[in-house]
Amino acid sequence: MRGIYKMINAVGREIPEEVLKATGKEAFKGAYAYDNYEYTKAAPKAHTMMDPKRSKIVESIHDALVKCEIKDGMTISFHHHFREGDYVVNMVMDEIHKMGIKGITICASSLGKANDPIVPYIEDGTIVGIQSSGVRGKIGEAISTGKLRDIAIMRSHGGRVRAVESGEVHIDIAFIGAPTCDEYGNMRANGGKSDCGVLSYAMVDAQYADKVVAVTDCLVPFPNIPASISMVDVDYVCVVDEIGNPAKIATGAAKPTTDVRKIMMADYCTKFVVNTPYFKEGFSYQTGVGGASIASTISLGKIMEERGIHMGLGLGGITTPMCELLAKGLVNKLVDTQDFDQGAIESIKTNPNHFEISASEYANPFNKGAYVNKLDFVILASLEVDVNFNCNVVVGSDGMITGAQGGHPDTAAGAKCTIVIAPLLQGRIPAICTNVTTVTTPGESVDVVITDYGIAINPRRQDLIECMKDVDLPFCTIEELRDKAYAMVGTPDPVQFDDRIVGVIEARDGTIIDVVRKIKDYEFTTAVE
């Protein structure tokens, strides 16, 4: 019998030929393999609206689906700015299910635990495909256990925009939750009871979907400007009682951590940053929302104030500590793609130097330039990092899909200095290991790994190694960090997977960086006396 042909990609992962054929994709060749690539952007179908007497208002989600001519096999898109407070995905999929529509592919910027109620629709064939940056909760479990018919596709934020703009993904109907909207479809992310700050991830959907439905719980007088998404891209407006739970959209101001380990890692991070050549007047910076990341932002702000150094650009998902630096005049401009707390939502309403941009402007690698390419520093987290500096942010140590690529690969590839903060152990599981369960960000894009037991600089970055030679920080090799972790808890047994491939991890350029296999069913053994 002929063996299954496998392509070894640039991070050493085996990509079966069957997957390459099924997806029409190539194996990952490196972070910048498609630089200067030429392509033609896709274009949606469009319907004119010349008669001023014709209304865009529809009575219900059902009516919107009917007017959009919903059919079996279509691709439906959503955004995730409402995070764990989202109601839109569930209400739309409930109606699609009631109508008996089958074979739907969901193309969402992310899916979370709030969307657990759609799992039965995966099981009964209403939903057969999922394409998303993140898949958490019961949806992740459903994919990992082989319940989804088609191969799930996980993309970065930039990769999703690339896929839509290039025509790789064609969205039939986009449903866009809008905190405020007028009768003609001008949408804003602020001014209602379900404010989410920005609508960055939905902008590409509005521009490229064949039909666009604005779903709002706050209809305001025309014109609702300046609009995040313009009426020129909107077909219908549907008013519902609630589009989200405000308490779960913004969970309050992000607070500094009290965890001693996280504070220590934050201090390590800050000390590293300020001793690089990139820490100078006008530097650019992005960080995440974890405890260590927030703490590092606060401690970095204190040094900026002491030295009279200003951040030129703060980028990405925004939290209260970054907004406080802006308010103090320590940051010139915040460029925002997602708001994680109430402080960020309020800041973009009131501060003229806090700006909303599209996910395409933020991170699309097929643009003529994206904001991530202008980053000096990005501070990231990771579930696992291996001895080749490859990162895993999607698949848990139990093999379950439980996270999101988000902007991780995009910012790592773009920044001059990419720093990953991770505790040496996640519970009793080594975060630094020989091989990550699944590669989501290639090691060539990662420069520094900071743990509570030491700091490893990627040997590729001899320039950083040189400038840190006299800095009092606990430097070691990545192998030494791995060995420390294994000495504490032992060498972990690899997760057991079936042969069936249930998902692919796309690199931001659309090639396949890794595959996700079905978790092997646990077999009970019966003792024989």
- Residue 377's CATH number: 3.40.1080.10
Are residues 218 and 290 both part of a single domain? no
Q: Sorting pLDDT into bands at 50, 70 and 90, what band is 252?
A: low
Q: By mean pLDDT, which of 220-224, 345-349, 524-528 is the weakest? A: 524-528
Which residues fall within 8 angstroms of residue 268, CB to CB, at 6 or more apart?
450, 455, 473, 474
Q: Sorting pLDDT into bands at 50, 70 and 90, what band is 527?
A: very low
Reduced 3-state DSSP string for 195-251 = CCCCCHHHHHHHHHCCEEEEEECCECCCCCCCCCECHHHCCEEEECCCCECHHHHCC
Please check whether residue 448 lies inside any domain of the structure.
yes
Please check whether residue 381 lies inside any domain of the structure.
yes
Please check whether residue 98 lies inside any domain of the structure.
yes
Q: Sorting pLDDT into bands at 50, 70 and 90, what band is 528?
A: very low
Distance separating alpha carbons of residues 347 and 470, to the nearest angstrom: 40
Domain boundary residue, one of 226, 249, 272: 249
Domain boundary residue, one of 220, 249, 278: 249
Q: Sorting pLDDT into bands at 50, 70 and 90, what band is 288?
A: confident
Which residues fall within 8 angstroms of residue 103, CB to CB, at 6 or more apart?
72, 73, 74, 125, 128
Q: Which tokens in the block code for residue 55? A: 């209304």
Range of the domain at 264: 260-489
Distances (CA, A) of 51 to 6, 56, 226, 319, 524: 57, 11, 24, 44, 67
Are residues 198 and 313 both part of a single domain? no
Are residues 411 and 267 both part of a single domain? yes
The pLDDT tens digits of the residues spanning 81-140 come to: 999 999 999 999 999 999 999 999 999 999 999 999 999 999 999 999 999 998 999 999
The bridge status of strand 127-132 relative to strand 152-154 is parallel
Beta bridge partners of 152: 503
Q: Which tokens in the block code for residue 219? A: 């209809």
Q: What is the mean pLDDT of the chain?
A: 95
The pLDDT tens digits of the residues spanning 340-379 come to: 999 999 999 999 999 999 999 999 999 999 999 999 999 9
In b/e form, how buried is each residue of 339-363, taking b as 16+ CB within 10 angstroms?
A: bbbbbbbbbbeeeeebebbbbbbbb
- Residue 136 and residue 404 in contact, taking contact as beta carbons nearer than 8 Å: yes
Beta bridge partners of 58: 238
Q: Is the pLDDT of residue 185 over 80?
A: yes
Are residues 295 and 362 both part of a single domain? yes
Q: Is the pLDDT of residue 480 over 50?
A: yes
Domain boundary residue, one of 249, 281, 302: 249
Please check whether residue 529 lies inside any domain of the structure.
no
Please check whether residue 167 lies inside any domain of the structure.
yes
Q: Is the pLDDT of residue 2 over 50?
A: no
Please check whether residue 410 lies inside any domain of the structure.
yes
- In 3D space, the residue among 90, 197, 183, 191 whose CA is nearest the CA of residue 139 turns out to be 90
User: So what's the pLDDT on residue 386?
Assistant: 98
Cα 403 to the chain's mean position, in Å? 9
Helix 320-327 × helix 291-307 angle, to 10°: 10
- Residue 175 and residue 215 in contact, taking contact as beta carbons nearer than 8 Å: yes
Give the percent of the chain with pLDDT over 70. Answer: 96
The phi, psi pair for 433, rounded to 5°, reads -145, 175
Task: Look at the chain and count its residues.
Answer: 529
- Residue 292 and residue 421 in contact, taking contact as beta carbons nearer than 8 Å: yes
Radius of gyration of the chain (CA): 23
Are residues 242 and 277 both part of a single domain? no
User: So what's the pLDDT on residue 68?
Assistant: 98
The phi, psi pair for 312, rounded to 5°, reads -75, -40
Q: Is the pLDDT of residue 472 over 80?
A: yes
Are residues 472 and 363 both part of a single domain? yes
The phi, psi pair for 55, rounded to 5°, reads -95, 145
- Residue 512 and residue 506 in contact, taking contact as beta carbons nearer than 8 Å: yes
User: So what's the pLDDT on residue 3?
Assistant: 45
Are residues 398 and 283 both part of a single domain? yes
Distance separating alpha carbons of residues 31 and 44, to the nearest angstrom: 29
DSSP state of 513: E
Burial of 324 per CB tally in 10 Å (0-12, 13-18, 19+): middle
- Residue 411 and residue 380 in contact, taking contact as beta carbons nearer than 8 Å: yes
Give the percent of the chain with pLDDT over 90. Answer: 90
- Residue 514 and residue 25 in contact, taking contact as beta carbons nearer than 8 Å: no
Please check whether residue 35 lies inside any domain of the structure.
no
Are residues 191 and 77 both part of a single domain? yes
Q: Is the pLDDT of residue 257 over 50?
A: yes
- In 3D space, the residue among 311, 322, 319, 373 whose CA is nearest the CA of residue 342 turns out to be 319
Are residues 192 and 290 both part of a single domain? no
Q: Which tokens in the block code for residue 75? A: 């691709």
Please check whether residue 510 lies inside any domain of the structure.
no
Question: What's the number of domains the chain is made of?
Answer: 2
Are residues 325 and 181 both part of a single domain? no
Distance separating alpha carbons of residues 180 and 224, to the nearest angstrom: 8
Which residues fall within 8 angstroms of residue 35, CB to CB, at 6 or more apart?
none
User: So what's the pLDDT on residue 526?
Assistant: 52
Are residues 363 and 437 both part of a single domain? yes
Are residues 346 and 216 both part of a single domain? no
